[in-house]
Amino acid sequence: MREIVFDTETTGLDPATGDRVVEIGCVECINHVPTGEVFHVYINPERDMPEAAFKVHGLSSDFLRTKPVFASIAEDFVKFVGDAKLVAHNAFFDLGFINAELSRLGYAPIDASRIVDTLALARKKNPFGPNSLDALCARYGIDNSRRTKHGALLDAEILAEVYLEMMGGRQTGLDLAAEIVVAGVTTDTLGGSPSRARPVALPSRLTPAEMAAHASFVASLGEQAVWKNYIADEAAQ
């Protein structure tokens, strides 16, 4: 599965009021793991750089004046992205800017169904936050010491690491223990020895006194106790 983790830097907060994209950073991932392929470009926004935005990313009007305008990089960006899912933190902010730039040039907008918002994922996993990119780096033990200012490619590279951890870490990409079951015998595909069920189950380690104490405790919980459901299911089986 191909995904593009991306980030943008802009001149402000709202493309509808004339703010523009000044940097795009993209990291290609296959099955949530970065491949090393990236797309990175600084963009001349064809307007001034507000001081508030400059303090965030450090990209000045003088620096950007000699960079390509969006129209000259749009085709390369669209080709790099292809039909992959797009992953970003607070993704619909970035998507709004990208689609505004594409629309100016007559390109079809990127559909919202292709978006994976890691901020929304983080809020589901950690509803009490904080869920900023820096906070997620701290939670997952990812080094973000290079992040002294916002930068699209650096943030995309860091987010790719965060996203991998959010999706289960590198184990999600491993399939070394695939199993084949033949005639009731499980054999791993690496040629290891088959594993069989025990012919006789191990005896319980609970003493009669412990079992009686547990039964008494469950009885004291009342008829609505969750334990009653497990007892009923076990009896039915």
Q: What is the pLDDT of residues 121-138, one digit of tens each?
A: 999 999 998 999 999 999
- For residues 40 and 217, what is the distance between their CA atoms, to the nearest angstrom? 63
Percentage of the chain beyond pLDDT 90 is: 67
Within this chain, do residues 138 and 233 fall inside the same structural domain, yes or no?
Answer: no
pLDDT of amino acid 234: 59
- For residues 231 and 10, what is the distance between their CA atoms, to the nearest angstrom? 60
Within this chain, do residues 110 and 27 fall inside the same structural domain, yes or no?
Answer: yes
Within this chain, do residues 168 and 220 fall inside the same structural domain, yes or no?
Answer: no
Asked about 150 being catalytic, the answer comes back as yes
Of the candidates 32, 57, 150, 214, the residue annotated as catalytic is: 150
Mean predicted lDDT score pLDDT of the chain: 86
What average pLDDT does this structure show over 182-191?
A: 45
Within this chain, do residues 150 and 237 fall inside the same structural domain, yes or no?
Answer: no
For residue 62, being part of any structural domain is answered with yes
Within this chain, do residues 212 and 169 fall inside the same structural domain, yes or no?
Answer: no
Q: Which of 49-53, 64-68, 222-226 is predicted least confidently?
A: 222-226
Within this chain, do residues 229 and 130 fall inside the same structural domain, yes or no?
Answer: no
pLDDT of amino acid 45: 98
What average pLDDT does this structure show over 92-101?
A: 97
For residue 90, being part of any structural domain is answered with yes
Within this chain, do residues 136 and 222 fall inside the same structural domain, yes or no?
Answer: no
Q: Count structural domains, the chain.
A: 2
Percentage of the chain beyond pLDDT 70 is: 83
DSSP 9-52: EESSS-GGGT--EEEEEEEEEETTEEEEEEEEEE---SS---HH
- For residues 166 and 162, what is the distance between their CA atoms, to the nearest angstrom? 6
For residue 178, being part of any structural domain is answered with no
pLDDT of amino acid 190: 45
pLDDT of amino acid 146: 82
What average pLDDT does this structure show over 30-59?
A: 96
For residue 89, being part of any structural domain is answered with yes
DSSP 43-84: ---SS---HHHHHHH---HHHHTTSPPHHHHHHHHHHHHTT-
Within this chain, do residues 16 and 91 fall inside the same structural domain, yes or no?
Answer: yes
Within this chain, do residues 135 and 215 fall inside the same structural domain, yes or no?
Answer: no
What average pLDDT does this structure show over 100-107?
A: 97
Residues with Cβ < 8 Å from 60, sequence gap 6 or more?
Answer: 49, 54
For residue 130, being part of any structural domain is answered with yes
pLDDT of amino acid 27: 97
230 lies in which domain range? 208-237
Q: Is the pLDDT of residue 39 over 80?
A: yes
- For residues 79 and 10, what is the distance between their CA atoms, to the nearest angstrom? 22
For residue 67, being part of any structural domain is answered with yes
pLDDT of amino acid 207: 82
For residue 189, being part of any structural domain is answered with no
For residue 32, being part of any structural domain is answered with yes
Within this chain, do residues 108 and 216 fall inside the same structural domain, yes or no?
Answer: no
Q: Is the pLDDT of residue 198 over 80?
A: no
